[in-house]
Structure 1
């Protein structure tokens, strides 16, 4: 268990890999959403369900299903990261989910982050029957 407590840090890049527990299946893939640490307890206390959460002194990182940024504009200061390699010093697992997956449900989390930042939630509009195209830049 100890090896899952801390992220694997790459000293040269300033990034760390968040090590997901192998006992929690991540069949949907994983991305991470970070918020400044000062907001961590407030968000965790208000979410109806919370997945794996990692923290260091500056940021808290929530694990969400891959693609949780599709059609959502995550407000600043939140950071959305594809995958689980995040800009962090020494993240450690601080919350183990009650559910059998590592995920925090992205829509309630997104709405809480918007409320916290005073931002109106924004969904990209698409025509009925249109298939979204995911672009990375």
Structure 2
């Protein structure tokens, strides 16, 4: 799934949002890692454990182990400029909360 030049050194999970949110999320993030898209969802690669003490709001979907269901139409639409495949999870979380009208919640 990830390009060989972008190793996921701390493991990887994925956060998906409906495709209708995709461009808005991408535009609001200061930095994005690898982003995959299909007609239904956009998937951001985040470091493993990015759900620790975070409650990702509906309709976001958190996929441990970056287990993204197979879809023949999925492709990488954003490759990071640096050497890390990750999107920082806290800014992503806050943007998703903002777009869904959900107050951020963590312990």
Q: 1-side partners of 2:100 and 2:37: how far apart?
A: 20
Look up the match of 1:43: 25
The alignment yields a C-alpha RMSD, in angstroms, of 0.8
2:62 corresponds in structure 1 to: 80
Matching residue of 1:8: none
Rounded Cα–Cα distance in structure 2 between residues aligned with 1:43 and 1:71: 21
Partner residue, 1:134: none
Match of 1:107 in 2: 90
Deviation string, structure 1 residues 11-40 (Cα, Å, up to 9, x no partner): xxxxxxxx1011012111000000000000
Q: State the TM-score, normalizing by the size of structure 2.
A: 0.96
Give the helix-richer structure, 1 or 2: 2
Q: CA deviation at 1:88?
A: 4.5
C-alpha distance 71-25 of structure 1, shift in aligned 2 (>3 A): same
User: Is the 1:32–1:83 Cα contact (8 Å) retained in structure 2?
Assistant: yes
The alignment's TM-score, normalised by the length of structure 1, stands at 0.75
Q: Which has the larger radius of gyration?
A: 1
**Distance in 2 of aligned mates of 1:122 and 1:56:** 28
Q: CA deviation at 1:84?
A: 2.1
For 2:69 and 2:2, locate their aligned partners in 1 and report how far apart those are by CA, in whole Å: 16
What is aligned with 1:119?
A: 102
* Greater relative contact order (CA < 8 Å, ≥ 6 in sequence): 2
Gaps of 5+ in 1: 1-18, 125-137
Shift of 1:87: 2.6
Identify the residue that residue 55 of structure 1 maps to in structure 2: 37
How many matched pairs?
106
